[in-house]
Amino acid sequence: MKNDDVYEVLIIGGGISGSALFYELSRYTDVNKITLLEKYGELATLNSNARANSQTIHCGDIETNYTLEKAKKVKRTAKMVEKYCLEYGYEDKIMFKHQKMAIGIGYSECRFIKNRYEEFKSLYPYLELYDKAMLEKIEPQLIVDENGVGRDEEILGMGARNEYTTVNFRLLSDTFIENAKKNTKIQTDTFFNSQVDKIEKIEDVFYVYTSDKKVYKSKMVVVDAGAHSLFLAHKMGYGLHYGQLPMAGSFYKTDRAILKGKVYMVQNPKLPFAALHGDPDVTLDGATRFGPTALVLPKLERFKPGTYMDFFKTLKLDRNVVKIFYDLLKDNEIRNYILRNFLFEVPYFGKRAFLKDAQKIIPSLKMSDIEYAKGFGGVRGQILDKENQKLMLGEATINTGEGIIFNMTPSPGATSCLGNAQRDVELICAYLGKTFDENAFTKDLIEEKNDE
């Protein structure tokens, strides 16, 4: 075998995760032959598309399901996205500022917000507490309706008014590839319409077979194929102790900007990221988008044909999976949540049920204000840990230690793209005996400008 047709790193998947890794490898390492294979004709057509996700930089300040410990971690990776965008001047093109807040409604949620503010303000010094009078000024729709009638319940907000909050992750993916290709000293290849069907390792080289009958060779492979990462892992005999439950998220929208910024609600600890939020959509000229909902879908890709069989194969249905479902469904709150979210998808009834939930944010919202956002939403591949009979919420990685890594990125994987890529860059450099320029990386993506 000729060595010159072997890549050093091959990335499968051109969503935000794969493209962020492509960028970091080209910019901060001496890996000099990289390729990325993407199934579709362009980057980020699935979850990383701006219409698929909530466009939010989840930095941990208003995500009430995060502990302080978790918030510290996500803040670090979220800031990387912000620093990257500032470095290239993407403000107001790809990254946007909106005011943002988490609101508590009623006595116990308001106490919760107050305590959380006290606990989190040291990590996020810019955090502000908004009482009813202040909310009426900065986000009036939370308080008064068109007739000037106010909200009766106690309400308290916690948030910020001058932070970057929103990213078009689809456009961000494009920039990662463009900027990586600016390094003309190394080989950076991207191949589209290249669906990987099979991967095998022969001696020290991975052979990657695509549906258009091509074979790519590489010393190392990173699978950033979203909900298909586990599918490809299973094909190679890895991660068999995991199954995957595709959880679709849909949205409702208005035809105009009703909210000025992001409004999140207090999350139920049993159902992280399940509480609805409303915010301006950057693909809809700031019109308000509400969601996401959560619905189990028997397919791995939203708005694309097929992948039903891939769902069944990746579910890995057995006694352990049935036990996980049983435990979820026997909990009243979770069962009601699942049924209610199913209802949200049903024409006529769905809109009525959804309106009630959205009115918790905007009491004056009317039926004529909202419509189901057709073509919006994605699929979060939630991992089922069969050994421990638990639904794992959040991201997962299988590092085989044998030159191939599989990343599963339900949420908030877009925010953590550069942080996850850094983790993989370090593993890649250790495996290939390459160098990671950590100083340059830290200077560009981590250090605060006014540190000294």
Phi, psi of 359 (to 5 degrees): -70, -15
341 vs 411, which CB is nearer to ligand FAD? Answer: 411
Q: Which is nearer to ligand FAD, 320 or 341 (CB)?
A: 341
In one-letter notation, the amino acid at residue 321 is V
Nearest distance, CB of residue 126 and ligand FAD, angstroms = 20
User: In this complex, which beta carbon is closest to ligand FAD, that of residue 143 or of residue 370?
Assistant: 370
Q: Which is nearer to ligand FAD, 26 or 55 (CB)?
A: 55
In whole angstroms, how close is the CB of 386 to ligand FAD at the nearest point?
Answer: 22
| Minimum CB distance to ligand FAD, residue 153 (Å) | 27
Q: Judged by CB, which is closer to ligand FAD: 364, or 397?
A: 397
Distance between CA 6 and CA 86 in Å, rounded?
35
Burial class (CB in 10 A: 0-12, 13-18, 19+), 435: exposed
Residue 13 or 278 having the CB closest to ligand FAD: 13
Nearest by Cα to 404 from 435, 433, 436, 428: 428
CB-hemisphere CA count at 13 Å for 117?
A: 21
Asked if 338 contacts 344 with a C-beta cutoff of 8 angstroms, the reply is no
Bridge-partner residues for 286, per DSSP? none
SS3 of residue 330 by DSSP: coil
**Cβ proximity to ligand FAD, 37 vs 427, nearer residue:** 37
Residues 6+ apart with CB under 8 A from 349: 343
DSSP secondary structure letter of residue 436: B
Q: Is 3 helix (H, G, I), strand (E, B) or coil?
A: helix
Nearest approach in angstroms of CB 224 to ligand FAD is 5
d(CA 264, CA 326): 30
CB of 299 to ligand FAD, least distance (A): 13
Name the residues that contact ligand FAD, by CB under 6 A.
12-18, 37-40, 44-48, 52-56, 58, 169, 195-196, 224-226, 228, 249, 292, 377-380, 409-415
Q: Closest separation between CB of residue 384 and ligand FAD, Å?
A: 17
> What stretches of 393-437 show up as alpha helix (H) in DSSP?
417-432
Q: How far is the CB of 411 from ligand FAD (least distance, A)?
A: 4
**Virtual torsion, Cα 163, 261, 65, 252, nearest 10 deg:** -140
